[in-house]
């Protein structure tokens, strides 16, 4: 899969890399059991700090999409679910936009309920 | 078969098979039921097989080699690497005939105590037959290499950095590895003949080729054998003259696995889409990938940026 980061973008580099991993799983380019590049190698080729990549991997691990094992690197979890991941991504966008418009939790939940057919 | 000498090569591959077939009627009534088929280091026979069974086995192997030659000629056409495949088929056909002739003549000479001796040369000559076949098959007239067709570069902003990587798996190779490992365990358990070094070969191949990592980034194109992390191939970005996305026909590249033929090398896991890198020194390197477009576009973009 392709990793690309933009050093001029406002989004932190670690978040950009985490988003790439998420995208890879969503598009099916990364299947359960697939290994991610070693953090040291990815940091080298993208010319970013090793801790930036480690932070990105840790973030995706906390989202329960990959597992990190000492000495074995990062691997996509067997239960990583692209369909659910797409929903989470939509929810993330929804919440982000709602916050920008100044909406509170109650208003967001009300909108979700209204969205039901 | 667009090369005039290919039919001649096919005939040469079949020649040893004809020898094996033709000698049976003249020798069979003088051969004992069981003939010597293996010799120890001192030159005395230590392995015996049914004569007709041994002959049949050698004949079948020869026929398989002959059929393989025909298939190679038809499938690969006049492709570059087919000369070496035809040579390999010739070596197999020749060596099986050599084994048959050497064993049979040794037994005919002194049925009581068959000695192999110089007759080993029959086998060596049979192997060498492959070189004759390859020579006759000849090389293609060196065609002018077309320049690599342009691949649209990935749209990378100047502030963007990109890297691509994928893992290749060869289910067949992994399965063979597992099967060989089981075989070794069984053979070791029953304490049978020490054939396990032979079975260890697929295990080693499996460990090296079972999982491969292919990366394309600012370092260029790299192939790293996964399980043992052995670097197989590195083409620095500065050595990349151009990249091409194409369908890989294994026989055109010399077969499956890691193949090296003059001027070219390839890692072929299957028939299908692949990436071909044209190097500045005129060599070409191909690797089969599910999605060769992304690394091709990336390498082109990185090359434009550096150049």
**Chain B contact present for A46, CB below 8 A:** yes
| CB nearest B218 (choices: A8, A45, A48) | A45
Query: Residue B94 pLDDT > 90, yes or no?
Result: yes
Please give the ipTM for the structure prediction: 0.78
A42 contacts in chain B (CB < 8 Å):
163
Neighbouring C-beta atoms of residue A85, cutoff 10 Å? 16
Higher pLDDT, B210 or B96: B96
Say how far apart CA B52 and CA B125 lie, in whole Å: 23
**Chain A contact present for B161, CB below 8 A:** yes
Say how far apart CA B14 and CA B12 lie, in whole Å: 5
Segment B262-288, tens digit of pLDDT: 888 998 888 899 999 999 988 999 999
- pLDDT for B55: 92
Tokens, residue B18: 């004809």
Query: Percent of chain B having pLDDT more than 70?
Result: 82
Tokens, residue B107: 């037994």
CB within 8 Å: A4 and B167 = no
Distance from the Cα of A87 to chain B's closest Cα (Å) equals 26
Average pLDDT, chain B: 83
CB within 8 Å: B164 and A42 = no
- pLDDT for B239: 92
CB within 8 Å: B163 and A42 = yes
Place of tokens 């690394």: B295
CB within 8 Å: B217 and A1 = no
b/e sequence A7-33, b meaning 16+ C-beta within 10 Å: eeeeeebbbbbbbbbbbbbbeebbeee
- pLDDT for B2: 46
Say how far apart CA A17 and CA B286 lie, in whole Å: 29
CB within 8 Å: B164 and A2 = yes
Query: Percent of chain B having pLDDT more than 90?
Result: 32
Highest mean pLDDT among B20-34, B46-60, B176-190, B286-300: B286-300
What number of residues does chain A have? 117
B156 contacts in chain A (CB < 8 Å):
4
Segment B222-253, tens digit of pLDDT: 998 866 778 888 999 999 999 999 999 888 88
Segment B42-81, tens digit of pLDDT: 778 888 888 888 899 999 999 999 998 888 888 765 555 6
> pLDDT band at residue B34, thresholds of 50, 70 and 90?
confident
Helix (H, G, I), strand (E, B) or coil at B43: coil
- pLDDT for B3: 56
B159 contacts in chain A (CB < 8 Å):
6-9
- pLDDT for B256: 80
CB within 8 Å: B164 and A35 = no
Spans of chain A, pLDDT less than 50 = none
Query: Residue B41 pLDDT > 80, yes or no?
Result: no
Higher pLDDT, B265 or B198: B265
Say how far apart CA A47 and CA B24 lie, in whole Å: 70
Query: Residue B179 pLDDT > 80, yes or no?
Result: no
Nearest to B299 by CA among B173, B185, B170, B148: B148
> pLDDT band at residue B96, thresholds of 50, 70 and 90?
very high
The structural domains of chain A, ordered by start, are: 13-80 (1.10.10.10), 83-115 (no CATH)
- pLDDT for B142: 47
CB within 8 Å: A2 and B163 = yes
Nearest to A46 by CA among B161, B121, B287, B198: B161
Highest mean pLDDT among B80-84, B150-154, B172-176, B205-209: B150-154
| CB nearest B166 (choices: A1, A5, A8) | A1
| CB nearest A45 (choices: B154, B163, B213) | B163
The structural domains of chain B, ordered by start, are: 6-137 (no CATH), 164-170+210-306 (2.30.29.30)
Query: Residue B213 pLDDT > 50, yes or no?
Result: yes
Query: Residue B1 pLDDT > 50, yes or no?
Result: no
């Amino acid at each position: 899969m392709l990793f690309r980061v933009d050093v001029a973008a406002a989004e932190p580099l670690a978040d950009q890399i985490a988003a790439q991993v998420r995208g890879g799983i969503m598009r099916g380019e990364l299947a359960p059991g697939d290994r991610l590049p070693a953090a040291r190698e990815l940091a080298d080729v993208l010319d970013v700090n090793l801790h930036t990549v480690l932070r990105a991997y840790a973030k995706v691990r906390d989202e329960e999409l990959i597992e990190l094992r000492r000495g074995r690197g990062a691997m996509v979890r067997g239960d990583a679910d692209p369909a659910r991941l797409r929903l989470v991504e939509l929810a993330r966008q929804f919440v982000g936009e709602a916050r920008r418009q100044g909406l509170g939790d109650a208003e967001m939940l009300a909108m979700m309920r209204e969205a039901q057919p | 078969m667009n090369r005039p000498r290919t039919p001649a090569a096919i005939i040469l591959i079949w020649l040893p098979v004809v020898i094996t077939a033709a000698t049976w009627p003249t020798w069979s009534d003088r051969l004992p039921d069981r003939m010597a088929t293996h010799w120890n280091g001192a030159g005395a026979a230590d392995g015996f097989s049914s004569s007709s069974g041994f002959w049949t086995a050698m004949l079948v192997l020869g026929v398989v080699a002959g059929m393989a030659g025909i298939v190679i000629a038809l499938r690969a056409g006049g492709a570059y690497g087919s000369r070496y495949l035809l040579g390999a088929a010739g070596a197999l056909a020749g060596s099986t005939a050599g084994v048959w002739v050497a064993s049979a003549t040794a037994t005919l000479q002194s049925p009581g105590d068959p000695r192999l001796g110089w007759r080993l040369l029959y086998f060596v000559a049979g192997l060498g037959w492959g070189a004759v076949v390859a020579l006759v098959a000849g090389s293609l007239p060196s065609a002018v290499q077309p320049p690599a067709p342009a691949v649209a570069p990935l749209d990378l902003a100047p502030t963007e950095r990109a890297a691509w990587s994928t893992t290749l798996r060869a289910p067949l190779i992994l399965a063979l590895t597992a099967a060989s490992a089981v075989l070794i365990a069984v053979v070791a358990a029953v304490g049978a003949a020490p054939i396990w070094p032979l079975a260890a070969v697929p295990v080693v191949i499996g460990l090296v080729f079972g999982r491969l990592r292919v990366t394309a980034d600012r370092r260029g194109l790299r192939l790293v054998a996964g399980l043992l992390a052995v670097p197989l191939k590195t083409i620095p970005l500065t050595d990349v003259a151009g990249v091409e996305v194409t369908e890989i026909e294994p026989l055109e590249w010399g077969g499956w696995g890691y193949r090296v033929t003059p001027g070219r090398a390839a890692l072929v896991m299957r028939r299908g889409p692949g990436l071909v890198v044209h190097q500045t020194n005129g060599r070409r390197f191909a690797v089969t990938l599910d999605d060769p477009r992304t690394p091709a576009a990336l390498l082109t973009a990185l090359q434009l940026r550096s150049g």
